[in-house]
Structures are given as structure tokens and as C-alpha cells.
């Protein structure tokens, strides 16, 4: 089936099978391999992308369901070679080790912080958003710090110690 996708602002026409997941199309047809795949069961969140601004599991969405939708992946976060504040914060706070989960966490929080720029003031929501994705390396503490730093940065507030 022919499908038109908008990915990071670019228009793509792809010929896919109905059974192809959005994750597979991004990786295999569009060569956007920043979106990782691990469990393919919705559990780990390493495949998280934004569809119409909403963080979703791209392994649980069919490409044919995304016709005409606006998709954002980790490749679209940086602009003109400048890291997105979330990416910069992950680097500054050591929010990654092996980095496999990182694209998923970045897109998860890119969506969550656009939805609620004061997410860092909603402890319950912050916790459950952190718990949405799996990281086997960092222990989450540094990811949490990175998100807090990025939230402040995105609001134009100075981070402590800067």
C-alpha cells in the first residue's frame, strides 16, 4: 500500500505492507535508525516517537495508520547542528550510558514537556512518565536530572550551578 508520511517535516511516499510497523518503516525504508527496536511488545519504549505531538510506541502502530500524520523522531530534535535542550541535558547530566534507550527517552520527554512545560512540578506525572520506558544502565537518577534540567532550560530558567 502507498502511504504518505510526514517525518521531521519532510514528506515521504513509501510502499509498505499493512503489517509493517511504523518503527520498521522508519528504520528499513527511511533509514532513520535512531528509533530503536527491542521488545516490539510495547514494554520497553525504545521505539517511542511523536505522532501528531503524542509520544507513542512505534512498534505498536502500523505504518498504514500514519498516513498523512506528522511524525517526529530523534533525528528531528537537533536544529542546524544545535542539540535540543533535552539532548544537551542528557549529555550534561550523564543521562545515558550505552545509549540504546536514549532516543526513546528523548522523544518521550520531548512530547511530555511540550504537553506540560511544568512537568517537573507534577511529581506523580514525572514519575510515571519516567517509568514508561526501560533503561538497563543508568538507574534513572541521571535521566531524571536531565529532564529537570531540560524543563528549566526550555522555560528559560537558569539551572543551579550554571
Partner 1 sequence: MKPAPFAYQAARSVDEAVALLDEHGSAAKVLAGGQSLMLDLHYRRTRPALLVDVNGVEELVGHGVDDGHLVLGALVRHADLERPVVDDPVGALLAHVAPYVAHPPIRARGTFAGSLAWAHPAAEWCAVAVALDAEIGLHGPSGRRVVAAAEWFHGPHRTDRTAQELVTEVRLPLLGAGTGIGFAEHRRTHGSFAFAAAVAAVGVAEGRVAWARIAMANAGPVPVRATTAERALAGQSVASCDGAVSEAGAAAAREADPRPEPHGSVEYRRHVLAVLVRRSLRQALGSAAAQVTRPPAGRG
Ligand X SMILES: Cc1cc2nc3c(=O)[nH]c(=O)nc-3n(C[C@H](O)[C@H](O)[C@H](O)COP(=O)(O)OP(=O)(O)OC[C@H]3O[C@@H](n4cnc5c(N)ncnc54)[C@H](O)[C@@H]3O)c2cc1C
In whole angstroms, the minimum distance from the beta carbon of 43 to ligand X comes to 5
Burial readout 2-13 (b: 16 or more C-beta within 10 A, e: otherwise) = ebebbbbeeebe
Residue ranges of E strands in the chain: 2-7, 10-15, 48-51, 54-57, 70-72
The radius of gyration of the chain from alpha carbons, rounded to an integer in Å, stands at 16
Q: How far is the CB of 152 from partner 1 (least distance, A)?
A: 21
Catalog residues that contact partner 1 under the rule CB under 8 A. 1, 17-19, 21, 24, 40-42, 45, 48, 54-57, 59-62, 64-65, 108, 112, 124-125, 127-129, 131-132
Residue in the structure block whose three cell numbers are 535508525: 33
Chain CA centroid to CA 38, Å = 15
Query: Shortest Cβ distance from residue 55 to partner 1 (Å)?
Result: 5
Closer residue to ligand FES, CB minimum distance, 38 or 83: 38
Residue appearing with cell numbers 512545560? 117
Shortest spacing between CB 108 and ligand FES, in angstroms = 11
Q: Rule CB under 6 A: which residues touch ligand FES? A: 37-40, 42-47, 57, 59, 96-101, 135-138
Q: Which residue is nearest to ligand X (CB)?
A: 42
Amino acid at each position: 500500500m502507498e502511504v504518505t508520511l510526514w517525518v521531521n517535516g519532510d514528506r515521504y511516499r513509501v510502499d509498505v505492507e499493512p503489517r509493517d510497523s511504523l518503527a520498521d518503516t522508519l528504520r528499513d525504508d527511511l533509514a532513520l535508525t535512531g528509533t530503536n527496536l527491542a521488545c516490539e511488545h510495547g514494554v520497553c519504549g525504545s521505539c517511542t516517537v511523536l505522532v501528531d505531538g503524542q509520544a507513542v510506541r512505534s512498534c505498536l502502530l502500523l505504518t498504514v495508520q500514519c498516513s498523512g500524520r506528522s511524525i517526529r523522531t530523534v533525528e528531528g530534535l537537533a536544529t542546524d547542528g544545535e542539540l535540543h535542550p533535552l539532548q544537551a541535558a542528557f549529555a550534561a547530566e550523564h543521562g545515558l550510558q550505552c545509549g540504546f534507550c536514549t532516543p526513546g527517552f528523548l522523544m518521550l520527554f520531548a512530547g511530555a514537556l511540550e504537553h506540560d512545560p511544568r512537568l517537573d512540578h507534577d511529581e506523580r506525572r514525572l514519575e510515571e512518565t519516567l517509568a514508561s520506558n526501560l533503561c538497563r544502565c543508568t538507574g534513572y537518577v541521571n535521566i531524571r536530572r536531565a529532564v529537570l534540567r531540560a524543563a528549566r532550560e526550555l522555560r528559560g530558567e537558569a539551572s543551579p550551578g550554571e
